[in-house]
Amino acid sequence: MSEAPWLTIIGLGEDGLKGLTAASQSALDSTEIVMGPARHLALLGDLPCETIEWPVPFAEGVQQLLSLRGRRVVVLASGDPFWFGAGAVLARHLDPHEWQSLSTSSVFSLVANRLGWPLETTLCLGLHAAPLTRVRPHLATGLRLIVLLRDGAAVRDLADYLGEAGFGETSMTVFEALGGPRERVTEMQAKALPDTTFQHPVCVACDILGAGAAVPLASGRPDTWFDNDGQITKQPIRALTLSALAPHPFEHLWDVGGGSGSIGIEWLLCHPTLQATTIEPRPDRAARITANAASLGVDRLRVVTGAAPEALVGLDAPQAVFIGGGLSENLLHWLVENLAAGTRLVANAVTLETEALLLQAQEHHGGELMRLELSRSEPLGPRRGWKASYPIVQWSVTL
């Protein structure tokens, strides 16, 4: 018979004890210690056992909790602990047999039921510990969004952000202390937020409306989405490059010679499980890459300031590598010698010198060479003609 878990994570609603399931009430009745935020402890009133207030920042409480291993402990969380809650963080530090989770209805479910929104087509985000820019890739008229915010002041921040993005006509429904005796619901447009103070815990449902620009879903977003100093893989070439890199869920990309960061950013926009590290030797460009990633909602992009291959040492191994700048024989040799078999490598060359490197690399390591030539129509006197850009030679190979 397996040993009973010493830790129980209980999802708590704003109605406190009234909303507890029989299993959650039983766990509370038999526990030695209840640990949780002050607000959650207050919802339960006086308890016969020891109580510990979870410290801020949250990470400090994890070690305190682990020191209680072997005693019967209940940790209080909001609603469903495994939907933008504390459950996943705690589970990473514990073996599966050490804990159990007893959830109640999540805030997302409560809001969807209040508004009659199908939850499967509604975007749900937890931004209580993340920047508001996480919503940017999704913003488009017709989107329904339910978002958890860190505090009442963040409601105005969200309204301002939507307005600046061109979606000030969005209908916002603010839920405070949803499901409890302090519940308050306020409806307004983002551009007409009332002069009022909102209280934590707060959740906002947004029916997005406005003339703001939506980020295209296809790879090869317009260059205007990326602040740059001219060092950027241009839109058509970027689309072909992302196709050659062929992102798969849970993969990690090295973008060597980031420039504006457009390749790494577009890689991350493909799927939320993807990771990317951009290596850029110039500090000003590295700062620009970080800003571009944040503005497009992929702040998880890691930016390393340094020159390759030296800056690659010690990085988490990639499944795909793109070389857009700083291509050299030394770099290619390092990659071939140090990357695991099966790693996909894509390199673009513009100059004759780097093109020669790729020709030689393809001869030794195989793969596919492709020459990309693009022309755009431009005025030519009273008529129009084709103006060709520099041709790009692209080498793609699986090592």
Give the type of residue at 363: E
Distance CA(195)–CA(184), nearest Å, equals 15
User: Tens digit of pLDDT for each residue in 299-322?
Assistant: 999 999 999 999 999 999 999 999
| Segment 286-308 mean pLDDT | 97
By percentage, how much of the chain surpasses pLDDT 90? 89
Q: In a 3-state reduction of DSSP, which class is residue 377?
A: strand
Identify the residue whose tokens are 């970080």: 290
Domain boundaries defined on the chain:
7-104, 108-207, 223-398
Number of C-beta neighbours around residue 7 at 10 A: 24
Mean pLDDT of the chain: 94
CB 200 within 8 A of CB 152: yes
Pick the closest to residue 332 from 312, 302, 352, 314 (CA basis): 312
Q: How far apart are CA 217 and CA 67, in angstroms?
A: 46
**pLDDT on residue 57:** 87
Q: What is the pLDDT of residues 115-133, one digit of tens each?
A: 999 999 999 999 988 999 9
CATH number of 223-398: 3.40.50.150
Per residue, the 3-state secondary structure of 229-254, as one string, reads: CCCCCCHHHHHHHHHHHCCCCCCEEE
CA 322, CA 344: separation in Å to the nearest integer? 9
For residue 191, what pLDDT is reported?
96
pLDDT at position 144 over 90: yes
Per-residue model confidence as pLDDT tens digits over 336-380: 999 999 999 999 999 999 999 999 999 999 999 999 999 999 999
**pLDDT at residue 329 is higher than 50:** yes
- CATH number for the region 7-104 comes to 3.40.1010.10
Q: What is the percentage of the chain residues whose pLDDT exceeds 70? A: 99
If one looks up domain 108-207 in CATH, what number appears? 3.30.950.10
Distances (CA, A) of 83 to 17, 96, 189: 21, 18, 27
Q: Taking residues 263-274, report their average pLDDT.
A: 98
- Cα distances from 187 to residues 29, 160, 190, 193, 376, in angstroms, run 40, 16, 10, 9, 49
Q: What is the model's pTM?
A: 0.91
Average confidence (pLDDT) over 151-158 = 96
DSSP-assigned letters across all residues of 173-240:
EEEESTTSTT-EEEEEEGGG--S----SSEEEEEE--SSPPPPPSSSS--GGGS--SS-S--HHHHHH
Q: How many CA atoms lie within 13 A of 106 on its CB side?
A: 18
| Overall average pLDDT of the 381-395 stretch | 92
Over 80: is that where the pLDDT of 2 sits? no
Give the confidence band of 195 by pLDDT, cuts at 50, 70, 90: confident
Give residue 1's pLDDT.
37
pLDDT at 358: 95
d(CA 361, CA 332): 8
pLDDT band at 246 (very low <50, low <70, confident <90, very high): very high
Distance CA 137, CA 134 (A): 7
pLDDT of residue 19: 85
Residue 127: what pLDDT? 95
Beta bridge partners of 50: 33
Q: Can you spell out the DSSP letters for 32-94?
A: SEEEE-HHHHHHH-S-SSEEEEPPSSHHHHHHHHHTTTTS-EEEEEESSTTSSSSHHHHHTTS
263-272 average pLDDT score: 98
Residue 4: predicted pLDDT: 80
pLDDT attached to residue 83: 92
Alpha-carbon Rg for the chain, nearest whole angstrom, is 26
User: What pLDDT is attached to residue 155?
Assistant: 97
Q: Does residue 62 surpass a pLDDT of 70?
A: yes
Q: What is the mean pLDDT of residues 93-122?
A: 95
What pLDDT digit, counting tens, does each position of 65-77 carry?
A: 999 998 999 999 9
Mean pLDDT to the nearest integer, 223-229: 95
